[in-house]
Structure 1
Amino acid sequence: MFKLKDYQENALTALDGFFRQLRMSGLAEAWRHCAPVQEKQGQARQAAYNAETLGETPAVCVRIPTGGGKTFLAAHAVARIGKTLADTDAPVALWLVPSDAIRSQTLAALSTPRNPCREALTSYFGERVRVCALDDLATVGPQEVGQSAIIVVATIQSFNVKEKTQRTVYSFDENFSRHFQGLTPRQEARLDRVTEADIAAQPYLTATDLGRVKASLANWLTLNRPIVVVDEAHNNRTDQAFRTLKNLHPACVIELTATPAASSNVLYHVGASALQREDMIKLPIVLMEHPTGWKDAVRDAILTRDRLEKLAAGEPDYIRPVLLFQAEPKNGEVTVERLLEHLTSPDGEKLDRRQIAVATGDQKELDGIVLADPLCPIRYVITVEALKEGWDCPFAYVLCSLQDARSAKDVEQLLGRVLRMPHARPRHQTELAKAYAHIVAQGFARVADQLADRLVNNMGFESYEAAQAIAPAQDVLPLPESGEYTRPRPAEAVISLPAAPTLPVPEELKESVEIRPTTSGATAIVRGELSEEVEEFLLTACNARHRQGVKDAIDTERVRRAALTAPSARGERFAPLPQLCLDWDGELQPVEKRLLSELGEFDLFAEPVCLARFSLVERGAAFEIDVDGGRVVYGETDSEQLHLNEVAPHATENDLVRWLDRECRQIDVGQPTLIKWLLALTRHLQADRGFSLTALLRAKYPLAEAIRREIEWRRGKAVATGFQRSLPGFMSAPRLEDSFKYAFTFHPTHYPARPPYYSGRYRFRKHYYPVIHDLREKRADGTPSEEFLCARAIDRHPAVKQWVRNVEREERFSFWLPTATDYFYPDFVCELTDGRVLTVEYKGEPYKTNDDSREKVQIGYQWQESSSGRCLFLLAVMEDGQGRGVEQQIEDVISRNS
């Protein structure tokens, strides 16, 4: 089974949390509680919820870059939201896509056995799932509604029309009549009725039908309040599209896109770096510009592909790298015909024609071809515009664009083809973890800027991610024989200025800064370092209204350079950090939650069977459920969502327990134990709490949630007990060769910075990665940030070789130490020049003596003492009890333990 990536699981958790909060406190409060806080101009802000488009219908967006697996994510989302929002494990979903090509691809992905998207559905629903095109929906019987998940895949154009009689989905259809029997007045109130326009358009309707509920496909959807998934949502932001969605009365709308509109309610944002960490995409894009002509670009692109194929022979998975050629249109110089002739002729590249496929509007040589098949000979694909929507080939590694980079509007779509990582697994050969682009253009900086713009505007990258994502071909910097790295002289920076500077270049900067007039303003050529003096001149010499744009250009160039020269980019390794271990049955084991829960003797029966954080009160036609203080009230209008027909008329206590067992399964609790505890719990709720079995069946989804929280609470108590029991025995391995058997190492490319520091005035020199996680230079009131001052002191210390701003709550990618309740992530991790490591936790004045800080100090010093002098720990404050500042505290801990 294809597993969810961390960022996909986090996105689903965000959706779950939002819709759970929505039911307890309403739309506005749910957004305030769950919406992300964004950094704007150095200040943290939360965007207001935009209700103008869909009113009270909850509509949220997940922003996920190209290659992030939106279809797979959405397949999981449909099932989870069905339970969270609609209390059903048989939801109705309307899946809207922008084109017929993507509709066909999505239908196949959701219907084909062993496809990860189909497996995602069956993991929740088993075989109780119907995936339908609009034409198939008439075959769904009333008995299937509420028993099977029904997912309807369609284009928005199928519904998007001003006059409903112009679309068959709004027309009366006798096949749907059986679904509209015995409706309540409340249900009928939101359904369309037969009008005179319908009678005129459908002759078999008569005057007697006027005003009756219309048995139509659209009314069927409205009746069942579908979960609406909008794929590539940026294509459906018109007023007409919003009116269409409103008319369907959906339970909610989930938008998925790489480039959301300003009006979208972005609930969760996935960065491109998250995809790279999960080996979903290839980065960086190694860019080779060819000013000498298109034939050189073609030759070098072929050589690049050939080299990659040789490297691929050493991979455990079969990979046959494919090269995409983007030829010029018919009125251009390098047309498809001319390129094909050059590739196959004896005077050209002498390629085998059987290895080349032409994919244009007239020639469709890719149709029916499975490029991943080991028997497929195709190694080269020629196209002009973007390949058809839905075409996917992770084997595509190299793009050779022969069009003018400034006018090739389809280049970002082709680039998206070469970004996907084959098999979504890490590659043994580092060259096979990168993508390659050969462009007929002059000047790396200019082409990089144009490609970066497309990555940001069309593929969902952040600006700093795009700047890091593009690297020059000569980015390998071998060490000299001495083994010491010498920082290379950076290539020239090309910074566009909207107008010529009003001041001359200062005398001291004339060797490094050159201003060249252009038709649209000027260009600054900076040779050497982009120093603060250079930045100050460029900003001062331009008009005030242009300064932010110039500042952004300078920041982008700095990020690009840092991506090439940071220690992680140079291939340097960060010193491993030994983890706290315990001698467990004669073997060392790292101290983590699973081990601590075992030490704490986690047992569901350790305490009396109860569910104190769950209550249910019935009041006639309505009842309310309270889980951990979050109250949800169900009334008559909600009874449709409860799908009471899912409950067999004679459902038993054992039926409920078996269902709860599936919903609450735990990896560290055996099924017999869990079933025994669930049976005891349901009997307690009936006998001691007075809940009827019918009430528990009606409230089974909130009941399952309360049970999961209860199990987690009991596990947490066991972890805390285990932590206290094991604290005296924490130890690292006694021998050096064993001490790093369990150690954490920072991965050179896997750093989940959010939001990153890269544009501040101070230039950090020793940070291991090109950007720094969540470091603000100033606080909201304009005063210096204390954590920033601590980071600067670390960066300046001569004993620090390199350091990392540790990312909290990233168990896989950050260094952590165990605590009684969770993991503790020190703010800064430093490698010293003598090989030791130092962790620094900074605490502001209000927090330096609280219980949380005391526990962190205790475990930090335990880690230090267990390391035989290899590891140091410091709880830093702005000024300690001895009057020492941060710099002196760092100096003292390093020198005192030398």
Structure 2
Amino acid sequence: MFKLKDYQEQSLTALDNYFRQLRINGLNPAWQQCAPLQEKQGQTWQVPYNSEALGDIPAVCVRIPTGGGKTFLAAHAVAHTGKTLLDTDAPVALWLVPSDAIRSQTLAALSAPRHPCRTALAEYFGERIRVCALDDLTTVGPQDVGQSAIIVVATIQSFNVKEKTQRNVYSFDENFARHFQGLTPQQEERLDKVTEADLAAQPYLTASDLGRVKSSLANWLTLHKPIVIVDEAHNNRTDQAFRTLKNLQPACVIELTATPADNSNVLYHVGASALQREDMIKLPIVLMEHPTGWKDAVRDAILTRDRLETLAAKETEFIRPVLLFQAEPKNGEVTVEKLLEHLVSPDGEKLERKQIAVATGDQKELDGIVLADPLCPIRYVITVEALKEGWDCPFAYVLCGLQDMKSSKDVEQILGRVLRMPYAKARQQIELSKAYAHMVSSVTARVADQLADRLVNNMGFEAYEAALAIAPAQTALPLPQGGEQPRPKPAEAVISLPAAPTQAVPEDLKQSIEIRPTTGGATAIVRGELSEKVEEFLLTACNAKHQQTIKDSIERERTRQAALLAPSARGVRFAPLPQLCLDWDGELQPVEKRILSELGKFDLFSEPIALAGFTIRERGTAFEIDLDGGKVVYELANAEQLHLNEIATHATENDLVRWLDRECRQKDVGQAVLLKWLLAVVRHLQADRGFSLTALVRAKYPLAEAIRREIDRRRDNAVASGFQKSLPGFLAAPQLEDSFSYAFNFHPTHYPARPPYYSGRYRFKKHYYPVIHDLREKRADGTPAEEFVCARALDMHPAVKHWVRNVEKEDRFSFWLPTSTDYFYPDFVCELTDGRVLVVEYKGEPYKTNDDSREKSQVGHQWENSSNGKCLFLFAVQQDEQGRNVEQQIEHALLDCNLATKERTV
């Protein structure tokens, strides 16, 4: 089964948490509880919820870059939202897309039995799934509602009208009449009625139909309060689109897009770096600019593709790299015809015609072609504008852009075609983890900047991610055999100036700065480091109104330089860090929660059967459920939709237990044990707490949530017990100099920085990665931030080779140590020049003596003491008991360990 990536799991968790809080606290309080904080220049704030467009209808957005699997994520979101918000495992969903091409693609993805999106639905609903186009919805009967998940895929244009009589979806249709029998007055009140305009538009209606509930497709959707999924939501932000959505009265609206509008309620943001960590996209984009002419660009692009095909032969899975040419329109120099002639000509590139496909409005040579087929001969695709919507070929590796970047509106769409990683898996050949772009450029054009702008504005990248994503072609060269690549000089920086400087370049900077006049101002070529002195000249030599633009450009170039100079980018490996282990039945095992829970004798029956905090109170037209202090209100309208009033005569105690088993299944609890315990819980709630079976079935989703929390609580207690029992036996993996079987390694390209430090005044020299995670230079009052002071001290210390700002709660990509409740992630990890590693946990004054800090200090020193002098741990504070500041504490720790090492050697 195609598994969810971490960022997709986190997106779904964000949606689940929001909808739970929505039911407990309401629209705005839920947003305040769940919405992310924004940050800029050390200041943080939360964007308020925007209800202007849709009023009380909850509408949130997940921002996910191009290539992130939005359709797959949305398929999971339908089931999650049905359970969390609507208490149903048979939801109705309206899936809106921007075009007919995407509609056809989405219908196929959700319908094809082996497609990942279909299997995602089947994971929750089994065979109880109906995927329909609008025309197919008449085949859905009343018996299907509440029994099967019904997903209607349509374009928003199908609903977008000012006058409803102009669209069939709003027209009276006798095929839907059976769905509108026996409606309650409350249901009828929400639905459109037949009007005089309907009589005029549909002659078979008579005056007797006036005021009658209209049997229409739109009314059918309104009746069932659908979950609305809006794909590529940035295309549907018009007032008319909002009125359309509001008229359908959905349960919620979930937008998915790479580039949300300013007024979107972005609940969760996925960065491009998250996609790279999960091997969803190829990065960096290796860029080669060709100012000498288009034929040079074509030649080098073909050579790049040929080299990649040679490397692809070494992969275990079949890959045939494809090169995309973006030719110029008919009035341009390099048209499709001219390029094709050059490619096949004996005086040109001498390619075989069968290896080339032309994909334009007139020529559709890709139609019906499966490029992933090993027998397919196509290695080159020529297009002019964006390829057909939905076209997806992860084998596309190289883009050759022959158009002027300034005039091309489609480059980001074609660039997106070469970003997807084949099979969404890491490649063995490092060159096959990158994308390649050969671009024709003029002397004044700055293609890297223009590509970066497209990545940010159209593909969902952050500015720093875009700067890191584009690398000069020479960085693709392999490292020399048998050693590290020497530290290169800073890459030449090219900074566009809105106007020519008003001052001459100072004598001491003339070797570093060259000013070239352009038609729109000037270009500054900076050779070497972008020092503070260089920045000061560029800012003061230009008009004050342009200074922020220039400053942003300088920071972008600094980020690009850092991407080339960082040890991780140069292929330098960080020293392995041994994990804490236990001798478990004669074998070493890393100290993980599973091991600790077993040591603590995790057993569901170790405590009396109970489910504290779970209560239900019936209140007329609704009932309330208290869950650990959170009140959740459920409308009985949902119960009517799901025929819950009939459950008393159909559902049995065993039905409920089997359903709870599916919802609450645990990796570390056998199914037989879980079933036995769940049956005991259900009987306890009936016999001892007085709940009826019907009430428990109607409240089965919050009941499942309460049971999962209770299992987690019991496991946490066992972990805490196992931790205390086993702490004296923790040891770092032995034989550090020979074996790191149980060690953590920082991955050179997988560093989940969020948000990164990259614009402070101090320029860090030794951080292992190009960016630094969540490091603020100053506090809100303008004083230096304490963790920043610690990071700067490490960066300046001569014994530190390089260091990493460790990312919290990322157990796959960060170094962690166990505690009695969870894992903890020390703030800084350093490799020293003598090969040892130093781990620093920094605590501010209010936290340095609490129980959590004492436990972390105890675990860290246990890790150090068991490492035979190879690992050092420092619990740093602003000022210790001896009055030493952070710099002095670091110096003292290294000095003490050096002395201890010498004593052991003697």
What's the TM-score, normalizing by structure 2? 0.98
**Structure 1 residues 870, 112: closer, same or farther in 2, change over 3 A?**
same
Q: Where does residue 448 of structure 1 map in the other structure?
A: 448
Give the Cα separation in 2 of the matches to 1:150 and 1:369: 32
1:526 and 1:666 map into 2 onto residues whose CA distance is 58
Q: Distance in 1 between the 2:817 and 2:844 partners?
A: 20
Distance 2:104 2:749 in 1: 36
SS of the residue 2:474 aligns to: coil
Q: Tell me, in whole angstroms, the C-alpha distance in 1 between the residues paired with 2:869 and 2:849.
A: 26
State the 1:661 CA deviation: 0.6
Residues 443 and 716 (structure 1), Cα distance of their counterparts in 2 relative to 1, 3 Å cut: farther
What corresponds to 2:384 in structure 1? Answer: 384
| Separation in 2, partners of 1:552, 1:577 | 37
Distance of 1:726 and 1:738 partners within structure 2: 26
Determine the structure 2 residue equivalent to 1:56: 56
C-alpha distance after superposition, 1:298-357 (max 9, x if no partner): 111111111111111111111010010111111111111111111112111111111111
Give the whole-Å Cα distance in 2 for the aligned partners of 1:218 and 1:565.
Answer: 58
The match for 1:66 is 66
> Quick one: which amino acid aligns to residue 162 of structure 1?
K
Contact persistence 2:146–2:642 (CA under 8 A): no
Whether the aligned pair in 2 keeps the contact of 1:230 and 1:253 (CA below 8 Å) is yes
CA distance in 2, matches of 1:440, 1:168: 49
Q: Which residue of 1 aligns with 2:183?
A: 183
Aligned equivalents of 1:674, 1:118: Cα separation in 2: 29
In 2: Cα distance, 1:503 partner to 1:390 partner: 52
Counterpart in the other structure of 1:790: 790
Cα shift at 1:503: 3.2
* Contact 1:289-1:443 within 8 A present in 2 as well: no
Tell me if the contact between 2:580 and 2:733 (Cα under 8 Å) persists in the aligned partners: no
Query: Residues 793-820 of structure 1, C-alpha deviation per residue, up to 9 Å, x if partnerless?
Result: 0000000000000000001000000000
| Residue 278 (structure 2) pairs with residue 271 (structure 1) | no
1:578 corresponds in structure 2 to 578
Superposed displacement of residue 167, structure 1: 0.3
Give the secondary-structure state (helix, strand or coil) at the position aligned to 1:769.
Answer: coil
Query: 2:599 corresponds to which residue?
Result: 599
Residues in 2 aligned to 1:283 and 1:476: alpha-carbon distance in whole angstroms: 11
1:473 is aligned to 2:460: no
- Judged with a 3 Å threshold, the aligned counterparts in structure 2 of structure 1 residues 465 and 248 are, in CA distance, closer, same or farther, namely same
CA distance in 2, matches of 1:674, 1:479: 54
Per the alignment, residue 863 of structure 1 pairs with: 863
Deviations along 1:624-661, one digit per CA (max 9) or x if unpaired, are 10111111123444544665168362311111101111
Aligned residue number for residue 256 of structure 2? 256
Whether the 8 Å CA contact 2:312–2:320 is kept in 1: the answer is yes
Question: Do residues 373 (structure 1) and 364 (structure 2) align?
Answer: no
Q: 1:171 to 1:824 in 2, by over 3 A?
A: same
Other-structure match for 2:719: 719
Amino acid at match of 1:139: T
Other-structure match for 1:874? 874
Q: Distance in 2 between matches of 1:257 and 1:394?
A: 20
Please report how far the alpha carbon of residue 716 of structure 1 lies from its aligned counterpart in structure 2 after TM superposition: 0.6
Aligned to 1:89: 89
1:323 and 1:396 in contact (8 A); partners too: yes
CA distance in 1, matches of 2:896, 2:732: 21
Offset at residue 493 of structure 1 (A)? 1.2
Q: Does 1:43 align with 2:43?
A: yes
1:773 is matched with 773
Contact map agreement 1:87 1:641 (CA 8 A) in 2: no
Which deviates more from structure 2 when the two are superposed, residues 740-749 or residues 474-483? Answer: 474-483
Secondary structure, counterpart of 2:60 in structure 1 = strand
Distance 1:733 1:463, change over 3 A: closer
Residue 170 of structure 1 and its aligned partner are, at CA, apart by 0.3
**Residue in 2 that maps onto 1:199:** 199
Match of 2:124 in 1: 124
> How far did residue 516 of structure 1 move?
2.8
From the superposition, tell whether residues 643 and 451 of structure 1 become closer, same or farther in structure 2 (CA, over 3 Å).
farther
The offset of 1:16, in angstroms, is: 0.2
Instruction: List per-residue Cα deviations over 1:491-542 (Å, max 9, x = no partner).
Output: 3211112223333322321221223333322222211110011112222233
Question: Which amino acid in the other structure matches residue 512 of structure 2?
Answer: S
- Counterpart-to-counterpart distance in 1, 2:157 and 2:529: 53
Partner of 1:326: 326
Partner of residue 751, structure 2: 751
- 8 Å contact from structure 1 (residues 146, 646) kept in 2: no
| Secondary structure at the counterpart of residue 751 of structure 1 | coil
Partner of 1:112: 112
CA–CA distance in structure 1, aligned partners of residues 183 and 147 of structure 2? 19
CA contact (8 A) 2:173 2:217 kept: yes
d(CA) in 1 for partners of 2:325 and 2:191?
52
8 Å CA contact retained: 1:284, 1:468:
yes
Written as runs of structure 1 = structure 2, the 5 A alignment for 1:608-627 is 608-627=608-627
Partner of 1:666: 666
Change (3 A) 1:847 1:196: same
What letter matches 1:549 in structure 2? T
For 2:812, what is the secondary structure of its paired residue?
A: coil
Specify the code of the residue in structure 2 equivalent to 1:140: V
* AA matched with 2:539: L
Deviations for 1:194-230, whole angstroms, at most 9, x for unmatched residues? 1111111111111111110000000000000000000
Mapping of residues 333-352 of structure 1, within 5 Å: 333-352=333-352
Residue equivalent to 1:438: 438
- 1:735-780 deviation digits (Å, cap 9, x = unpaired): 3366511100000000000000011110000000000000001111
Describe how 1:204-243 pairs up with structure 2 within 5 A.
204-243=204-243
Shift of 1:565: 1.1
Q: Which moved more, 1:321-330 or 1:642-651?
A: 642-651
Amino acid at match of 1:354: K
Of residues 501-510 and 579-588 in structure 1, the stretch that sits farther from structure 2 once superposed is 501-510
Q: Give the AA of the match of 1:529.
A: E
In the alignment, structure 1 residue 891 sits paired with structure 2 residue 891: yes
**Matches of 2:819 and 2:184 in 1, distance apart?**
56
Moved more, 792-801 or 641-650: 641-650
Look up the equivalent residue of 1:634 and give its one-letter code.
Y
1:340-383 alpha-carbon deviations (Å, 9 max, x no partner): 11111211111111111110000001011111111111111111
Answer yes or no: is the 8 Å Cα contact 1:22–1:30 preserved in 2.
yes
Q: Would the alpha carbon gap of residues 429 and 480 (structure 1) be closer, same or farther in structure 2, given more than 3 Å must change?
A: closer
Distance 1:695 1:833, change over 3 A: same
Question: Per-residue displacement from partner, 1:124-175 (whole Å, max 9, x unpaired)?
Answer: 0000010000000011000000100000000000000101000000000000
Comparing 505-514 and 217-226, the one that deviates more: 505-514
Partner Cα distance (2:363, 2:307) in 1: 29
Change (3 A) 1:481 1:231: closer
Classify the secondary structure of the residue corresponding to 1:736: coil
Counterpart Cα distance in 2 of 1:258 and 1:444: 30
Following the alignment from structure 2 to structure 1, what is the Cα–Cα distance between the partners of residues 187 and 437? Answer: 57
The one-letter code of the counterpart of 2:609 is: V
Unaligned runs of 5+ in 1: none
Equivalents in 2 of 1:675, 1:444: separation in Å?
71
Letter in 2 for 1:26: G
Report the secondary structure of 2:770's partner residue. coil
| Whole-angstrom distance in 2 between the partners of 1:84 and 1:443 | 57
Contact (CA 8 Å) 2:344, 2:351: kept in 1 or not?
A: yes
Rounded Cα–Cα distance in structure 2 between residues aligned with 1:476 and 1:82: 47
- The letter for the 1-side match of 2:624 is E
| Pairing 1:806–2:806 present | yes
Would you say 1:846 and 2:849 are equivalent positions? no
Alignment partner of 1:532 is 2:532: yes
Shift in Å, 1:486: 4.2
Structure 2 residues without counterparts, runs of 5 or longer: 899-906
> Relative to structure 1, is the Cα distance of residues 484 and 445 closer, same or farther in structure 2, using a 3 angstrom cutoff?
farther
1:706 corresponds to 2:700: no
| Structure 1, 820-829 or 639-648: larger mean CA deviation | 639-648
Q: Which residue of 2 aligns with 1:6?
A: 6
Q: Give 3-state SS (helix, strand or coil) of 1:474's partner.
A: helix
Structure 1 pair 823/481, CA: closer, same or farther in 2 (3 Å)?
Answer: closer
Matched, 1:18 2:18: yes
1:458 aligns to what? 458
Letter in 2 for 1:120: A
In 1, distance between residues paired with 2:373 and 2:281? 21
Percentage of identical aligned residues: 82
Q: Is the 8 A contact 1:732 1:739 kept in 2?
A: no
